[in-house]
């Protein structure tokens, strides 16, 4: 690889089905055609993709009680979206397969509040089981490489035809425009190519941000978009597509600017043990007792809470709980 031109190697890796990113400065990225495409994209797009009757939210004690969410995402951004919906009462079923990579112990953090089932979409019977779940669902959230699920019959338009009124939530790396629109990518890849890693580094080399900010901001915006689309369905009907891209979120984060070191130099790198303890809670799960961050944002009447413990991937059958069991917690 030492003999390769950086951009040529980056292109070759993606052409071979891999994923890589050349570390660029912010100025170099600004001149790239994909950066121009990303700059023209909306931060969050919510688009009507089909007609369907008005569909009020199910009755319940919490904002999303009875709302059924299929979570076909991995790593951080997409799982954070579905975890946020579960935090406010939704029934979330995470769908993955035994042959797909997982995130190890992180799955227990992003799996808070969720059911989890295995379905192999290469198997026609499992693909039909997913369609059956979809027909009775409300939100379909996915973060596969662009075009992957569409090739298996699960494009947003196909989902809207199968289940009028569906809210599709789609996460991509680079958005729907530009020459990289079909490429895969991750938070760290976006940091590398867009100049964020270079700006965070020093003479020893580029450095990633200390937290996966692009992933988490993307996940929370996905959840916000899903809730806005559910409201639109309740008021005006229709099927909806919510689209978020990591690169556009990264551009928004960068646009907020940076603080000079004197403004944060005295801030401790970690919270004191007493402060941290106040933010944590313990949950007993099939994998044992797990200590995790509790819901931080609290509302006056319907506080956030996860009523299901995280479980190993594939722990449950691919089935929805009875709606009579979805009234939520006090």
Dihedral-angle region of residue 165 (phi above 0 means left; psi in -120 to 50 means alpha; beta otherwise): left
DSSP class of residue 320 equals P
- Spatial neighbors of 126 by CB under 8 A, at least 6 apart, are 119, 120, 318
Question: What pLDDT is attached to residue 260?
Answer: 85
Question: What pLDDT is attached to residue 261?
Answer: 82
Mean pLDDT of the chain: 94
Strand partners, 202: 205
Q: What is the pLDDT of residues 185-208, one digit of tens each?
A: 999 999 999 999 999 999 999 999
Question: What pLDDT is attached to residue 265?
Answer: 82
Question: What pLDDT is attached to residue 324?
Answer: 53
Is the pLDDT confidence value at 328 over 50?
Answer: no
**Residue 267: CA atoms inside 13 Å, Cβ hemisphere, count?**
7
Assess contact for 89 and 64: CB atoms under 8 A: yes
Measured distance CA(137)–CA(233) in Å, rounded: 14
The separation between CA 258 and the C-alpha centre of its own chain, rounded to angstroms, equals 25
Q: Which helix (H) or strand (E) holds 222?
A: helix 213-236
Question: What pLDDT is attached to residue 266?
Answer: 86
- Find the mean pLDDT for residues 286-293: 93
Question: What pLDDT is attached to residue 223?
Answer: 98
- Find the mean pLDDT for residues 151-160: 97
- Which residue has better confidence, 181 or 324? 181
Task: Provide the strand spans (E) within 226-270.
Answer: 239-245
Question: What pLDDT is attached to residue 325?
Answer: 46
Measured distance CA(87)–CA(248) in Å, rounded: 26
Cα–Cα separations (whole angstroms), residue 258 to 38, 145, 253, 255, 264: 21, 31, 10, 9, 10
Q: What is the pLDDT of residues 268-279, one digit of tens each?
A: 888 899 999 999
When pLDDT is cut at 50, 70 and 90, the band that residue 1 belongs to is low
Question: What pLDDT is attached to residue 274?
Answer: 92
Q: What is the pLDDT of residues 4-63, one digit of tens each?
A: 999 999 999 999 999 999 999 999 999 999 999 999 999 999 999 999 999 999 999 999
Sign of the CA dihedral running 177, 179, 183, 188: negative
Q: What is the pLDDT of residues 247-269, one digit of tens each?
A: 999 999 999 998 888 888 888 88
Measured distance CA(66)–CA(77) in Å, rounded: 23
- Find the mean pLDDT for residues 172-179: 97
The separation between CA 69 and the C-alpha centre of its own chain, rounded to angstroms, equals 13
Is the pLDDT confidence value at 329 over 60?
Answer: no
Is the pLDDT confidence value at 152 over 70?
Answer: yes
Measured distance CA(116)–CA(102) in Å, rounded: 13
Percent of the chain with pLDDT over 70: 98
Cα–Cα separations (whole angstroms), residue 216 to 77, 79, 100, 141, 212: 5, 9, 22, 15, 6
Is the pLDDT confidence value at 2 over 80?
Answer: no
- Spatial neighbors of 193 by CB under 8 A, at least 6 apart, are 21, 22, 23, 24, 29, 32
Question: What pLDDT is attached to residue 56?
Answer: 96
When pLDDT is cut at 50, 70 and 90, the band that residue 327 belongs to is very low
Question: What pLDDT is attached to residue 262?
Answer: 85
Is the pLDDT confidence value at 330 over 60?
Answer: no
Instruction: Kindly state the tokens that stand for 55.
Output: 């569909």
When pLDDT is cut at 50, 70 and 90, the band that residue 299 belongs to is confident
């Amino acid at each position: 690889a030492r003999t390769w031109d950086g951009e040529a190697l980056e292109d070759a890796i993606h052409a071979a089905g891999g994923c890589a990113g050349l570390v660029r400065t912010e100025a170099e990225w600004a001149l790239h055609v994909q950066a121009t495409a990303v700059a023209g994209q909306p931060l969050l797009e919510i688009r009507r993709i089909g007609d369907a009757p008005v569909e009020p939210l199910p009755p319940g004690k919490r904002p999303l009680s009875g709302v059924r969410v299929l979570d076909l995402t991995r790593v951080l951004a997409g799982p954070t979206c579905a975890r946020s919906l579960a935090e406010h009462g939704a029934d979330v079923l995470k769908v993955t397969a035994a042959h797909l990579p997982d995130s190890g112990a992180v799955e227990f953090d992003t799996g808070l509040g969720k059911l989890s089932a295995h379905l192999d979409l290469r198997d026609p019977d499992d693909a039909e089981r997913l369609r059956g779940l979809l027909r009775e669902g409300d939100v379909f959230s996915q973060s596969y490489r662009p075009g992957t699920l569409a090739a298996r019959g699960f494009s947003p338009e196909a989902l809207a035809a199968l289940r009028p009124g569906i809210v599709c939530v789609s996460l991509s790396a680079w958005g729907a425009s530009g020459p990289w629109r079909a490429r895969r990518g991750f938070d760290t890849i976006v940091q590398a190519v867009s100049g964020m890693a270079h700006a965070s580094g020093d003479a020893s080399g580029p450095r990633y941000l200390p937290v996966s900010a692009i992933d988490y901001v993307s996940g929370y915006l996905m959840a916000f978009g899903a809730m806005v689309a559910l409201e639109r369905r309740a008021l005006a009907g229709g099927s909806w597509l919510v689209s978020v891209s990591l690169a556009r979120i990264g551009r928004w984060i960068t646009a907020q600017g940076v603080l000079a070191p004197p403004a944060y130099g005295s801030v401790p790198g970690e919270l004191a043990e007493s402060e941290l303890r106040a933010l944590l809670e313990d949950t007993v799960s099939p994998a044992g007792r797990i200590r995790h961050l509790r819901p931080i944002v609290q509302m006056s009447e319907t506080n956030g809470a996860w009523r299901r413990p995280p479980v190993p991937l594939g722990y449950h059958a691919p089935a929805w709980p009875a709606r009579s069991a979805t009234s939520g917690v006090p």
